Amino acid sequence: MGARRGRPGRAHRRAALGLGPARARDRLAGTGPERHRPLWRMWLLPGDGETGGVGCLVHHAAQDGVALLRTLEVVFGDRSATWKSQPRKPRPWHALGTLPDLAVTLAPAPRIAALAPAPDAERRLTWRSAPLSDLRRISAASGATIGQAHLAARPGALRHWSPTAEFTGATLPVCMPVDTRRDSEDQPAAGTLIGLMRVALPCGEPDSLRRLAAVTRAASRRKMAARRPALRALVEDLPPALGAMCLARLGNRRGVALTASSFPPVRR
């Protein structure tokens, strides 16, 4: 969702959903995949007075989060809609770096009482907000990144939402999206260059400081930097069928409990 001041013309009004931003969000999030529709759609949302909104629904195969940010920068900012193509030399042997994560997916992940009981269960939309200033203070005091502090909040939330005995002494395997773009690589507004890195959340640890320390080690900058070329090679340098099978294995709900985005700063 995005908001922009302005007065839409008649043609735009005819294309609007006729819903406010909050109701449109709930309606779009509750719809199932519509395979006969385009991979992306966009609507103007009427607001109050001079303020309106834009609703955007994009298939993940067409855009990842970074590409969506680039689209918003083109639409609402001054970013150029063109980019340079940067050839990349194939390095299929780098994909061997994903073998440890692939091996541990053979064991099924524990189910979580607070989440949907089956991969095909009905979707539920909910959220909680936390001030970014809190994460910044935790980051400054502990030496963890803001993304690591955000990720470390997950086991605490799961402990709060779940029965007391559910996570006693347990770690919870989750897959964390990792941006595989190189620092010098241009970032087009299309495509998906996200890999999945497996992280064990210390849900059995009752102490919040020790949970943060454990997550900082498990999702360290060094480990993420090592995973990026491995995950990129997995989807680009291996035979397509093999790469797709491995990536699906990394994100399979039977082998990981949930997807836990850490939202690191976008690298330019």
Alpha-carbon distance 247 to 195, whole Å?
A: 8
pLDDT at 128: 74
Instruction: Assign 33 a pLDDT band (cuts: 50, 70, 90).
Output: low
Q: Which residue has the tokens 């690298």?
A: 267
**Residue 211: pLDDT over 90:** yes
pLDDT of 267 higher than 50: no
CA pair distance 78, 267, nearest whole angstrom: 18
Amino acid 17: pLDDT: 44
Q: Which residue has the higher pLDDT, 265 or 88?
A: 88
Three-point CA angle 148, 151, 156, nearest 5°: 125
Q: What is the pLDDT of residues 182-191, one digit of tens each?
A: 776 766 667 7
Q: Which stretch of 5-19, 133-147, 159-173, 229-243 has the lowest confidence by average pLDDT?
A: 5-19
Instruction: pLDDT band for 1, please (50, 70, 90 cuts).
Output: very low
Q: What is the 3-state secondary structure (H, E, C) of the chain?
A: CEEEECCCCHHHHHHCCCCCHHHHHHHHHCCCCCCCCCCEEEEEECCCCCEEEEEEEECCCCECHHHHHHHHHHHHCCCCCCCCCCCCCCCHHHHHHHHHHHHHCCCCCCCCCCCCCCCCCCCCCCCCCCCHHHHHHHHHHHCCCHHHHHHHHHHHHHHHHCCCCCCCCCCEEEEEEEECCCCCCCCCCCECCEEEEEEEECCCCCCHHHHHHHHHHHCCHHHHHHHHHHHHHHHHCCCHHHHHHHHHHHCCCCCCCEECCCCCCCCC
Nearest to 154 by CA among 262, 234, 263: 262
Report angle CA 227, 232, 233 to the nearest 5 degrees.
Answer: 100
Confidence of residue 120 (pLDDT cuts 50, 70, 90): low
What per-residue confidence (pLDDT) applies to 186?
A: 66
Report d(CA 119, CA 11) in Å as an integer: 41
Residues 178, 97: Cα–Cα separation, whole Å: 14
Pick the closest to residue 78 from 89, 70, 87, 66 (CA basis): 70
43-52, 96-105, 170-179: the lowest-pLDDT one = 43-52
- Dist. CA 56–CA 53, nearest whole Å: 10
pLDDT at 51: 74
